[in-house]
Structure 1
Amino acid sequence: MTEHDRTAPGTPIPVATLPNLRSLAGWRAADGRAVREGVLFRSTDLSRLTGTDTAVVEGLGIRTVVDLRTAPERERRPDVRLDGADEVVLDVLADAVQAAPTDMAEILEDPGRARDLLSDGQARAAFLQAYEHLVTLPSARASYGAFFRVLAAGSGATLFHCTTGKDRTGWAAASTLMLLGVPEEVVEHEYLLTNDQLLPALQPVLDHFASLGGDPDLLLPVLGVRPEYLATSLAVMRRTYGDVATYFADGLGIDAATQAALRERLLVDR
């Protein structure tokens, strides 16, 4: 058992070059069981990992890295490979005409363009649509279905991520916890931890944008997460499928037997 396993659920794992890194361990399901230690981790992309930090992450026992990013994102910032870990690429937004949660690099260098694209509620609207797409896009359903099949068949720990580890990764974490029977208010709490664990690491980005004459408040709906974002995905899931089990079965192709196998693998008596 590593040191982080003895901390409260959701506690950040302090790796400077991999912000928003935390385990899903410890969150308790309605049946009294809890998410098993050392099996599921979430983070930002692994492109900035350095030597000593890489060793820390490898020490978590990661055997599978699931990359939920688009091809341009992966090409622009390829992951540092972890020793002993297989890489699984699942492009959640491959079918999106306009993918709001992906790369912001060019916008961050151009405050005028940022104002044109993000002001007057445009950022909020784009992200609400993106969170609908996390449930409805064929590429999202195929990718998340493959993610859960990887979890069901795998051994050792899995680390899953997108670019900032908040939207595509956030829905992966939320749907995992809901499948396991973690109450929805706890799922939302885990999701919102990203604001505490990611935004401080992005302060240099906000400062740089301000130095160019931009308004950092424009970026907050883009760089953080909001309850209404997750609520949008949940509402679309319920409107389309009725409940979590049916979403997994009909939306993701994860049948009842595989759902049960996931619960047995990922939950432990406490």
Structure 2
Amino acid sequence: MIEQNNTHFISLQGTFNTRDLGGYQTESGKYVKKNRLFRSDDLYKLTISDIKWFEDHGLTTVIDFRNFNERKNRPDKIIKGVKYYDLSPDDETAALASADLKSDKKKIDKLIEKKKQNKLDLTGDGLKKSMVGFVRDSETQKLYRQVLEIHIKENNDVILQHCRGGKDRTGYGSALVLLALGVSEDDVISDYMLTAKYNADRNKRRMNEYRKYTKDPVVLKYLSNAMSTRKEVIEAGINEMKKISVSPIQYIQNELGFDKDKISYLRSIYLR
């Protein structure tokens, strides 16, 4: 359940998918505090007024899931007093879908070569496989466990998670935090799917940019699939947690090693 009159979207000039995770009700009847937990696309184009918005809202921590090349090509704007963590799961599908205009030609040439080798997955299952990989891969488990640990370092932290488009890498990180706080699976899925709404115009523009470099329908379909936000992707991740540990909260405890005491502490910080 979502708190009445709650608005998650934050309208900034330099981003298109910045949202507040506050306002979701938990199984205990409490609500996630507003203005404490944010998710976003990258912070490369933040304006002076955007930066001031984050400063005024007390942002202390940014978790950046982008890989090295993404960060090099589109470095985050620096916000005064903020600590930055680079924690990249280095997911090829997500990074490929999120590359910037400067690398479009190179990216499309690579996809054309993959097509010749019959290595392009046009079912859209690449994103599902990536999400399941986030759940199962031992190194990625360590990375997302660190995400949870960062959330309990300080009682007064205001934290933003982001990648390039704020979809899958950030979607999974945000889902873990909400699940650990006791938010229902339905609301976690709903939160993930808000990206489809806020990325729609951006995705349309990106597809028009891709068409400057190729008319190949197979390559264009692959790119469209990679940018899409689909319910079954986050569901695949949640279902994989259940396969491994019966429930998402037990997965967080057993596989990520974020135990009951830490979950209780997390909730004491971010719930009201």
TM-score normalized by the length of structure 1: 0.86
- What's the offset of the Cα at 1:213? 4.3
User: For residue 194 of structure 1, what is the aligned residue in structure 2?
Assistant: 195
- What's the offset of the Cα at 1:147? 1.0
Identify if the C-alpha distance between structure 1 residues 235 and 117 changes in structure 2 by more than 3 Å, giving closer, same or farther: farther
User: For residue 259 of structure 1, what is the aligned residue in structure 2?
Assistant: 263
User: How far apart, in 1, do the equivalents of 2:103 and 2:138 lie?
Assistant: 28
Residues 225-253 of structure 1: CA deviation (Å, up to 9, x unaligned): 11111111112111112222221122212
Alpha carbons 2:238, 2:248 under 8 Å: kept: no
User: For residue 33 of structure 1, what is the aligned residue in structure 2?
Assistant: 30
- Residue 8 of structure 1 pairs with residue 1 of structure 2: no
- Residue 50 of structure 1 pairs with residue 51 of structure 2: no
Alpha carbons 1:68, 1:91 under 8 Å: kept: yes
- Residue 101 of structure 1 pairs with residue 104 of structure 2: no
Residues 23-59 of structure 1: CA deviation (Å, up to 9, x unaligned): 0010111221110011100001111222222222332
- What's the offset of the Cα at 1:207? 1.7
- Residue 127 of structure 1 pairs with residue 122 of structure 2: no
- Residue 151 of structure 1 pairs with residue 148 of structure 2: no
Which residue, out of 60, 72, 95, partners 1:75?
72
Identify if the C-alpha distance between structure 1 residues 127 and 156 changes in structure 2 by more than 3 Å, giving closer, same or farther: same
- What's the offset of the Cα at 1:217? 4.7
Residues 188-213 of structure 1: CA deviation (Å, up to 9, x unaligned): 11100001112213332122223444
- Residue 142 of structure 1 pairs with residue 135 of structure 2: no
Give SS of 2:167's match. coil
- What's the offset of the Cα at 1:182? 1.5
Identify if the C-alpha distance between structure 1 residues 65 and 121 changes in structure 2 by more than 3 Å, giving closer, same or farther: same
Give SS of 2:46's match. coil
Identify if the C-alpha distance between structure 1 residues 202 and 61 changes in structure 2 by more than 3 Å, giving closer, same or farther: farther
User: How far apart, in 2, do the equivalents of 1:112 and 1:204 lie?
Assistant: 20
RMSD: 2.4
- Residue 237 of structure 1 pairs with residue 241 of structure 2: yes
Give SS of 2:60's match. strand
User: How far apart, in 2, do the equivalents of 1:123 and 1:78 lie?
Assistant: 32
Identify if the C-alpha distance between structure 1 residues 61 and 224 changes in structure 2 by more than 3 Å, giving closer, same or farther: farther
Structure 2: runs of 5+ lacking an equivalent: none
User: How far apart, in 2, do the equivalents of 1:127 and 1:203 lie?
Assistant: 19
User: How far apart, in 1, do the equivalents of 2:111 and 2:89 lie?
Assistant: 25
Give SS of 1:88's match. strand
- What's the offset of the Cα at 1:220? 2.7
Matches within 5 A, 1:170-189: 170-189=171-190
Over the matched positions of the two proteins, sequence identity in percent amounts to 24
- What's the offset of the Cα at 1:70? 1.9
Alpha carbons 1:199, 1:223 under 8 Å: kept: no
| Mean CA deviation greater in 183-192 or 49-58 | 49-58
- Residue 85 of structure 1 pairs with residue 82 of structure 2: yes
Amino acid at match of 1:229: V
Alpha carbons 2:120, 2:222 under 8 Å: kept: no
- What's the offset of the Cα at 1:185? 1.3
Identify if the C-alpha distance between structure 1 residues 166 and 229 changes in structure 2 by more than 3 Å, giving closer, same or farther: same
